[in-house]
């Protein structure tokens, strides 16, 4: 864009220079030319010829000043602006690339964090399940041991109670036989009878 602007400016200056040089040539070629109602084209008048010559000189001076002084400065400014814009665009492209990379890294980190969190949740759930299973097994083992000990205590208490009952039954049978018949039966015989009766009734 800067180069096209400089090119257009140079073309305009060249056109103005050509126009300024063409007017004196027209005055020399047609010194008697005069347009009706247009005294500025009366080249027979010395004032008009002088104005045309001075106009050409002024255009020539302006062209030289523009081509040697102003136009290089304008071209330099435009080139500097072009370089600045290109550098800014390059920086913007690099920043966009870095931003895209950062966004991709962020998405990857988010997916990794979600996968890790899911794995941790599953591990915690599995650990809790195994811990609950171990606690259940330990509790069942303790309950089984408590039941076994309780059954042992019940069996011991039952055996002790049955022993006491047989002893009481022997003594009671001894007293009853002695009171009813007045005969003293030997203890071992009476104990055998009582034992047989208890066994028959499931004691």
Q: What is the mean pLDDT of the chain?
A: 76
Is the pTM of the predicted complex or chain greater than 0.85?
no
Q: Which of 62-66, 140-144, 183-187 has the lowest mean pLDDT?
A: 183-187
pLDDT at site 195: 64
In three-state form (DSSP H/G/I as H, E/B as E, the rest C), the secondary structure along the chain is CHHHHHHHHHHHHHHHHHHHHHHHHHHHHCCCCCECCEHHHCCCCHHHHHHHHHHHHHHHHHHHHHHHHHHHHHHHHHHHHHHHHHHHHHHHHHHHHHHHHHHHHHHHHHHHHHHHHHHHHHHHHHHHHHHHHHHHHHHHHHHHHHHHHHHHHHHHHHHHHHHHHHHHHHHHHHHHHHHHHCCCCCHHHHHHHHHHHHHHCCC
Mean pLDDT value of segment 5-14? 54
pLDDT at site 5: 47
pLDDT at site 184: 63
Question: pLDDT at residue 137 above 80?
Answer: yes
Rg (Cα) of the chain, in Å, rounded?
65
pLDDT at site 84: 95
């Amino acid at each position: 864009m800067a180069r096209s602007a400089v090119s257009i400016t140079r073309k305009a200056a060249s056109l103005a220079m050509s126009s300024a040089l063409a007017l004196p040539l027209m005055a020399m070629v047609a010194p008697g030319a005069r347009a009706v109602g247009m005294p500025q084209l009366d080249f027979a008048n010395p004032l008009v010829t002088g104005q045309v010559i001075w106009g050409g000189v002024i255009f020539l001076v302006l062209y030289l000043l523009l081509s040697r002084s102003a136009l290089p400065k304008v071209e330099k400014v435009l080139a500097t602006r072009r370089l600045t814009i290109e550098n800014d665009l390059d920086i913007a492209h690099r920043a966009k690339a870095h931003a895209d990379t950062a966004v991709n890294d962020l998405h990857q980190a988010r997916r990794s964090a979600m996968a890790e969190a899911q794995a941790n949740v599953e591990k915690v759930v599995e650990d809790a399940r195994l811990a609950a299973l171990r606690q259940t097994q330990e509790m069942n083992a303790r309950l089984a041991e408590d039941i076994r000990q309780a059954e042992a205590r019940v069996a011991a208490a039952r055996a002790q109670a049955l022993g006491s009952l047989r002893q009481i039954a022997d003594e009671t049978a001894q007293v009853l036989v002695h009171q009813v018949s007045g005969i003293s039966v030997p203890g071992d015989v009476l104990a055998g009878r009582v034992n047989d009766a208890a066994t028959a009734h499931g004691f």
